[in-house]
Structure 1
């Protein structure tokens, strides 16, 4: 149900706006952070926004913003080269639509955010309340809209003519931004901009916009900023956190390629399509057929190439859409002698297992009508083989693909979102415990997407055993069961689920308003997290900092020794550094760095890993030179707040 919000004017409700429940959750989360924010544009299109929802926030909320919006159901997509812009997405399953947030902390204009301004803090100070959200002061809003149309877009589309005219009428009365704009582009161009809109001369807008861009003065060189951002954008967008791999299996004619191409085109997340086609025909089949082992060699080449691409794209933060998967090797009739059996086994080893495996279920006669290949009887027999296989594969989901392509794509999109928005460890546990969704293949003909569970809600049943290792830091402090647990930093959803099992009332530290905690966990902390922890910790409370060595970090400690010294300078006592060996994701040992014996024993166990001997030699040298705490790649630093005295 949509949320109804009143637009108050002096206490009287003059307009009723509908706000999508997910956006209402975002607004509530931002209000709870205690940092100022406002909705830049789109205040009249919040029921189910057709475009971006543009939000301006204070820079102070940035360290905790990802966590706040994740709790509201949004996933962040990193997009280098877009200035202060942060992009978040949510798929509204019931509406079959994506909602996109475009969050900024600075006000900059231009296609590459090259024309910067210092207006963000001023606009936040002058904001006004409108129902459940904040909006800019009317004069600020008018000028920001006109500058967005002229400096960003360079033209005004017909559907925006009435909105632009209304903004120009307000801007004609002046405003605090008006004088700043005149200093940057000149009073003549400002008057030309306003007059062209008021007079309806929209054909003149591109020329005026070009002259304003050329005349802009102040700040860093726009050309330099645009060039840097243009280069950064070549890195491409990346999904933050775990990126799912979606595999599709079905006989020819079931609609695999149509579905994956539709997902690749319509899902706004960064996706990559990988076609395996290990056993498909190729132009060189006649030549390879006359060479002993030629077809098997082609199969090996394709599986290695596809497996490498899938892993590379996943590492680059892309959602991988895989047409055909290695499980095809398990179908009857896929083998053809010892070489084929070896290549099938290699396929299962090289090609990554999908997080979700969609098996498209289409009757044989329907597949024959679609593609005209093979026979209805043969296609029906293959269909039954796929259904039997789906019932025993991890992550298998059978989808009724005989329905229209749009309906199939909507179901698949919901499954992609479900997989993306749920913690990775819970997904793995669910697959292991219930690989076929608890139903026979015949009962899975149409799978509806399941809404993601909130962190901590019902997570006790789904939390995998290995996720308890995320709480190993408890054994580094004397408080095994905290009374009041706080956390901050880059805490993943699965870690938050584990923390809430430890303390259902665990609080994410956000903003200047402190909580009262006896234990605080900081994961990859950023600016302000240590201060927030100091404000929240009770006398005698413990802080745990999980950090990594990062020599390229712009601010804050770059090494684990630096983090240890930071806590000591802030007055913490009993500060101890531990090495998470081999790393925080796969911690096998928590090794006290001050114990040379424990470090040497751990290194002895790591000799069999890749480059293990070389790494061990480097570690022994660092140990001898007393710089091991500078070389520790990932670790945990603990400290205790003194019983007396002020806050750290």
Structure 2
């Protein structure tokens, strides 16, 4: 493992170190199963075993540090989290499990996880399995999972056998499951270097473990094998990324590069509305033929993008229907303007729009089409249009392709995982004041409670590193409230902030609020939530049932991460004033009308997508 020259301790990639720290903050046990020598720049998975009680908050913890979960069915208890490190152009992958299972389809389940967590040992900033546990897990991984001990793994097997003993806990479990003396036989084989006999021993172990419960084992293997045929997907809806620029800017090359580089599910959709086709000569002679082709392409591309987005994929959209809004896209005929507007409605609106900025002479040198002057005029039109479009980001695409792709990857991943700061980049001294201001900006919720300087602060849920740092500026001793099924929280707090909590964490945190103290819950509406409140109105009722008073609901306009306003939903004037600001946004007028309707029906707390609910715990 790479060592830090200043401390002499093993180096860990900053994002991985943040993941370990976030797990520590929960107060629940976890261990790094293997790969402690490959953490500076992990070349493979970072394998972690965690307590099952961590599952309700695990996605929020990882997302808060820039790690996005990819759902892959048929892998037992495995959860896969990906992250992107811009400084090293490195994709990170954490493989987190709650049970120890073996076999190519995790069909041989064991009760070993609890014991491994109880016997864990601290090594620097890492929690590792006890040496004997780690040794036996390595040996069983090679025999049951791999079925053989390949030459490149023989040294690791010898090292494990040197530590392991037939009297160890996992060795006794192996003897119990496979027959007395099996553990000693495996150790003798490895220590003697008889690796050519390992496949036969592994086959015997596999056969014995299957025959002990043939129906359950074979059913689990077949089920997991079938489920793996389903494509991996992102949680919820995927992200639609559109690329817009004149010819020669490198749109298609960039998107194909992103698709090849991304380790998560992607789909490429071409949305060119006016590109040449084999039927053009015939369509142009038919009245309305050109318009019909444009509508067909907009509808086809829009349906494809929406389908892949629902399937949880990142949609890489080559060209976008916004091209119809460019100056000169519509001629003087009214029907052309109408068809262009309809095309924009039919096509799927991108969640993120990358506008490639390349000087006209550079685009001309790349493709030799049109003229440098014409391309420069188009460039300026695209830049002007980008200023009007939501979710747009302008990229300097005159740089070498690898730099453009790196910048685009960072931009896309930052939109997918807002907590993705490149932890390896140091903050220049001149930016320290700006950083502090940014951190204090994350504490706007303080204005919703009357406590100006809380004596003690607790927090929980999806709290990322930036917000965590801000809370420690407010209270250096701020502590995370773990979400546990049993037990109580250590200590009590004058103010507790929860970010996207589940009901279990809420109950745990409510018990930790001092009499007269305040609870703030930053929550999102989710009608598909399986348990707990689904709306801000539901969270308000939950506060009341838990005995809180002085409860208020504030709408976050525009998002939970960066609210432009904190609007009290009880004030119709404040809500209407905020809604009036949405008229210039795409579909903003329609949304404002629907919101006004919900306000009249007194359902705005149900309709509002995200916000903060606050309440005070009575003195007695």
Place the TM-score, normalised by the shorter chain, in its bin: 0.7 to 0.9
Gaps in structure 2 of 5+ consecutive residues: 572-589
- 1:45-444 paired onto structure 2 within 5 Å: 45-171=38-164, 173-187=166-180, 193-194=186-187, 197-198=190-191, 200=193, 202=195, 205=198, 208-216=201-209, 217=212, 221-230=216-225, 233=228, 236-240=231-235, 244-331=239-326, 334-335=329-330, 338=333, 339-349=335-345, 350-359=347-356, 361=358, 376=368, 378=370, 380-392=372-384, 393-394=386-387, 395-401=392-398, 403=400, 405-422=401-418
Residue aligned with 1:112, SS: coil
* Greater length-normalized contact order (CA 8 Å, ≥ 6 residues apart): 2
For residues 209-247 of structure 1, what are the alpha-carbon distances to aligned partners after superposition, in whole Å with 9 as ceiling and x for unaligned?
444333224699233434554565566444458865432
- 1:552-591 paired onto structure 2 within 5 Å: 553=530, 572=547, 574=549, 590=569
CA contact (8 A) 1:51 1:100 kept: yes
| Residue 4 (structure 1) aligns with | 4
The change in CA–CA distance for 1:155 and 1:293 in structure 2 (over 3 A counts) is farther
CA distance in 2, matches of 1:549, 1:575: 25
CA distance in 1, matches of 2:103, 2:437: 45
| Residue 582 (structure 2) aligns with | none
CA distance in 2, matches of 1:230, 1:589: 51
The change in CA–CA distance for 1:368 and 1:341 in structure 2 (over 3 A counts) is farther
Residue aligned with 1:378, SS: coil
Residue aligned with 1:17, SS: coil
Residue aligned with 1:61, SS: helix
CA distance in 1, matches of 2:452, 2:558: 22
Of 514, 531, 543, the residue aligned with 1:538 is: 514
- 1:25-64 paired onto structure 2 within 5 Å: 25-64=18-57
C-alpha displacement of 1:103: 1.8
CA contact (8 A) 1:80 1:235 kept: yes
- 1:435-514 paired onto structure 2 within 5 Å: 457=435, 484-490=456-462, 508-510=480-482, 514=490
C-alpha displacement of 1:20: 2.1
Residue aligned with 2:296, SS: helix
C-alpha displacement of 1:459: 6.7
The change in CA–CA distance for 1:333 and 1:165 in structure 2 (over 3 A counts) is farther
Which range is displaced more, 121-130 or 413-422?
413-422
CA distance in 2, matches of 1:632, 1:399: 37
The change in CA–CA distance for 1:589 and 1:88 in structure 2 (over 3 A counts) is same
For residues 594-619 of structure 1, what are the alpha-carbon distances to aligned partners after superposition, in whole Å with 9 as ceiling and x for unaligned?
xxxxxxxxxxx999759x99xx9xx9
Which range is displaced more, 574-583 or 81-90?
574-583
Residue aligned with 2:242, SS: strand
CA distance in 2, matches of 1:330, 1:551: 36
For residues 351-376 of structure 1, what are the alpha-carbon distances to aligned partners after superposition, in whole Å with 9 as ceiling and x for unaligned?
3145241416376577666x6xxxx2
Residue aligned with 2:408, SS: helix
CA contact (8 A) 1:303 1:347 kept: yes
Residue aligned with 2:10, SS: strand
CA contact (8 A) 1:108 1:116 kept: yes
C-alpha displacement of 1:51: 0.5
CA distance in 2, matches of 1:347, 1:481: 54
Corresponding pairs, count = 576
